[in-house]
Every structure is written in C-alpha cells, then in structure tokens.
Amino acid sequence: MKKVFKIVMMATVLAFSGVAMASNSTETLPQDTLSKQLKLSPEQMKTVKTLREDAQKEIAKINTDSLTQDAIINMFQTGEWNDSEAKKQLSAISNIQSQVRYQRAKYLFDVSRVLTTEQKQQLQQMLIEKQLY
C-alpha cells in the first residue's frame, strides 16, 4: 500500500508541478528539445549530455521519504479530514517540487554557459515562452 501511495503522490507532484521527477524511464530534463531547437554542435551535445546526467543524479538524490506517509489516503479511507496532516503532506510535496525545479533551472543555466550568443538568446526566448524549468 505504501509503495502504491508513493507512486500516486509522485504522479500528483508531476501533475501539479509540470516537471518530471527522477525515474529510470522518465525524461526529466529537456535535452532533446534543446539539442534540436538550438542546433547544438556535437561537442555542445556531449557537454549537455554530461550536464543532464549530473542533474538527473541530483534529482534522484531528492529525499522522497515524506511521501510514504499515508495521511491523505487514510483520510479518504476513514472519511475524516485532518487539516494538520493534510497540510504536512502537501507541504512535503511542495518541497519536492521546489527541489526539482531548482535542479532543472540550474541545469538550464549550466547549459547556457556552453552556448553561443545566438543560442543563449534563443534559449532565453524558449524559457519565456515555454517555461522549461
């Protein structure tokens, strides 16, 4: 039950934050989009791949133990709402979302450091239009 709850909560985190959490099969950082739209050179692509791998390792380190709490699920099962426990659970989700967004923003900043001036301008426009972080 706890594993199922953790999966459900992670899906909730993803849905509300618009970002992906680390997992073996989920793309968490926009490397393909960047490579195609910014027309990265082979050397830039290699560097971006390394930066992406490093960022994914950092995302994978984010502690999700707080999501094992069954507070909200228990409320549905018992039919009794507990404000304190619900807020605690939702705060944990918010904290994880914040950490993932930080890692994505840092990744994109690091990527920007290997771009040409024109590519940087294009990345900035992409960030404004699509909010990649």
Whole-number pLDDT of residue 133: 60
Q: What is the mean pLDDT of the chain?
A: 79
Give percent above pLDDT 70 in the chain: 72
Rounded mean pLDDT, 50-56: 95
**What residue type is 109 in one-letter code?**
F
Most confident of 10-24, 31-45, 65-79, 82-96: 82-96
Whole-number pLDDT of residue 24: 32
Question: What is the rounded distance in angstroms from the CA atom of residue 7 to the CA atom of residue 68?
Answer: 9
Question: What is the rounded distance in angstroms from the CA atom of residue 91 to the CA atom of residue 9?
Answer: 12
- Tell me: the pLDDT tens digits for 3-35? 444 444 444 444 443 333 333 333 445 666 778
Q: What is the DSSP string of 7-46?
A: HHHHHHHHHHHSSPPP-SS---S-HHHHHHHHT--HHHHH
For residue 120, what are the CA distances in angstroms to 37, 40, 85, 104, 132? 12, 11, 44, 16, 14
pLDDT surpasses 80 at 93: yes
End-to-end CA distance of the chain: 32
Domain containing 6 equals 2-130
* Greater pLDDT, 10 or 104: 104
pLDDT surpasses 70 at 95: yes
Neighbours of 96 (CB within 10 A): 22
pLDDT surpasses 70 at 46: yes
Total number of domains in the chain: 1
Question: What is the rounded distance in angstroms from the CA atom of residue 71 to the CA atom of residue 77?
Answer: 10
Whole-number pLDDT of residue 129: 86
